[in-house]
Amino acid sequence: MNASNESLRVNGKRLWDSLMELAQIGGTQKGGVCRLALTDLDKQGRDLVVGWAKEAGMTITTDKIGNVFMRRKGKNDALPPIMCGSHIDTQPTGGKFDGNYGVLAGLEVVRTLNDHKIETDAPLEVAFWTNEEGSRFVPVMMGSGVFAGAFSLETAYAAKDVAGKTVKDELGRIGYIGDEEPGKHPMGAYFEAHIEQGPVLEDAGITIGVVTGVLGLRWYDCVVTGMEAHAGPTPMALRKDALQVATKIMQETVAIAHRYPPYGRGTVGMVQVFPNSRNVIPGQVKFSIDLRNVDSERLDAMDAEIRSFIERTSKESGLAISIEQVSYFPPCPFEKGCVEAVGKGAKTLGYSSMDTVSGAGHDAVYMARLAPAGMIFVPCKDGISHNEIEDAKPEHLEAGCNVLLHAMLDRATAR
């Protein structure tokens, strides 16, 4: 990056105003946003953002899964673009910033460069990805997943919502099926600015999180099978209580996470008890297990421990216990150069910063399979996200956007 650009700053008010205008599309009474993927409201949001990009002189490309790429040309348009982005679909009770911030921060970077008549060597692009949230259609991170080849376009097209409407039909209905084959779009590097969605930065009083990677996760379905019986006549010693055995596994899930600090995570979030009657001893319990950690070695060790514990518990209790892994995302370390560009940007701008990891999945996880990638976190109030009360300070959002600006300038400079 040219030394003369070190004093460059974005227009924080313009960024905030854009966020608030987009938030009105699907705005809720509690101050959040409900703008589900491929709904009429999603179309309105897409049209607004695309309109802003065109006003900023950007050209638009849409691929067959509805991912949108907004391009600002460079001095050498043959170079692969330095890209940033996120998503603009929300949870049913979503907030104003999750995803939306990353897209509009990218747009603000372009607007700022236009204001100062700065031309980058490589072109810049801002992307928004289809159905990142996965709240209407499964799988999550659909658009970026198809782009990265994690699953096929046909699989995504066939996904249905609760009303039986398919992704392909809904994409066509809102006019966002493009011509470009997903994944055929070149990319030199990818950055994603995002609210942290956790409490670490706020708790530490730090403005910028330099994200070094994303936690890997393993999701399981576990089923403990005992025998339902009357709660009164059946003596304690003669019971085959599936719930009591299941709770031992649930406690061990949390204990395993504590044994692999600081990034070990262990959660049981879903429990189904059969027959779920107050005077019947539970005969079967099905529950989820969510294990996460920052590297494959630790995550594999956690996997081995929960499987070993379940095997022992089955033998000791005499009950049948099954465990099935239903989802796996390997840990995703970000490219050293992109991480350094984010850290350098924070230092140049005088912001407090710290290395951190993301406990949640983001489109950047798939982009990191294709190109150097990095993320920028800013604090959110009380660490709350996926909630209508999600909030972030304007000055923090501006700071993260300034870091994004400088990181992109760093990577868009010919070496």
Per-residue pLDDT reduced to its tens digit, 158-217: 999 999 999 999 999 999 999 999 999 999 999 999 999 999 999 999 999 999 999 999
Q: How far is CA 234 from the centre of its chain?
A: 48
Q: Alpha-carbon distance 298 to 346, whole Å?
A: 30
Q: What is the pLDDT of residue 81?
A: 98
Instruction: Yes or no: say if 43 and 51 are a contact pair by the CB < 8 Å rule.
Output: no
Give me the mean pLDDT over the 106-132 stretch.
Answer: 98
Q: What is the pLDDT of residue 415?
A: 64
Instruction: Yes or no: say if 364 and 375 are a contact pair by the CB < 8 Å rule.
Output: yes
Residue 4 has pLDDT above 90, yes or no: no
% of the chain with per-residue pLDDT over 90: 96
Is domain 3-214+331-411 classified as CATH 1.10.246.90? no
Residue 272 has pLDDT above 70, yes or no: yes
DSSP E strands in 258-346: the ranges are 265-267, 271-274, 280-281, 284-293, 320-329, 332-333
Length of the chain: 415
What's the pLDDT band for 3 if we cut at 50, 70, 90?
low
Q: What is the pLDDT of residue 121?
A: 97
Give me the mean pLDDT over the 272-282 stretch.
Answer: 98
pTM for the model stands at 0.90
Give me the mean pLDDT over the 351-360 stretch.
Answer: 95
CATH among 3.30.70.360, 3.40.50.970, 3.30.420.10, 3.40.1390.10 for 216-329 = 3.30.70.360
Instruction: Yes or no: say if 100 and 19 are a contact pair by the CB < 8 Å rule.
Output: yes
Residue 378 has pLDDT above 80, yes or no: yes
Residue 2 has pLDDT above 80, yes or no: no
Residue 1 has pLDDT above 60, yes or no: no
Q: Alpha-carbon distance 130 to 34, whole Å?
A: 15
Q: What integer best gives the mean pLDDT of the chain? A: 96
Q: Alpha-carbon distance 283 to 364, whole Å?
A: 43
What's the pLDDT band for 220 if we cut at 50, 70, 90?
very high
Give me the mean pLDDT over the 358-373 stretch.
Answer: 95
Q: Alpha-carbon distance 197 to 195, whole Å?
A: 6
Domain definitions of the chain by residue range: 3-214+331-411, 216-329
Residue 112: phi and psi, rounded to 5, are -65, -45
Instruction: Yes or no: say if 221 and 288 are a contact pair by the CB < 8 Å rule.
Output: yes
Give me the mean pLDDT over the 51-75 stretch.
Answer: 98
Q: Alpha-carbon distance 217 to 289, whole Å?
A: 10
Give me the mean pLDDT over the 338-362 stretch.
Answer: 96
Give me the mean pLDDT over the 302-323 stretch.
Answer: 98
Residue 19 has pLDDT above 70, yes or no: yes
Each as own residue / partner, the long-range contacts of residues 60-64 (CB below 8 Å, 24 or more positions apart, any chain) are 61/178, 61/180, 61/185, 62/176, 62/177, 62/178, 62/179, 62/180, 63/147, 63/178, 63/179, 63/180, 63/181, 63/182, 63/184, 63/185, 64/153, 64/177, 64/178, 64/179, 64/180, 64/181, 64/182
Q: What is the pLDDT of residue 29?
A: 94
| Digit-coded pLDDT (tens) for 155-174 | 999 999 999 999 999 999 99
Give me the mean pLDDT over the 346-371 stretch.
Answer: 96
Q: What is the pLDDT of residue 152?
A: 98
What's the pLDDT band for 5 if we cut at 50, 70, 90?
confident
Beta strands 373-378; 208-214: pairing state = antiparallel
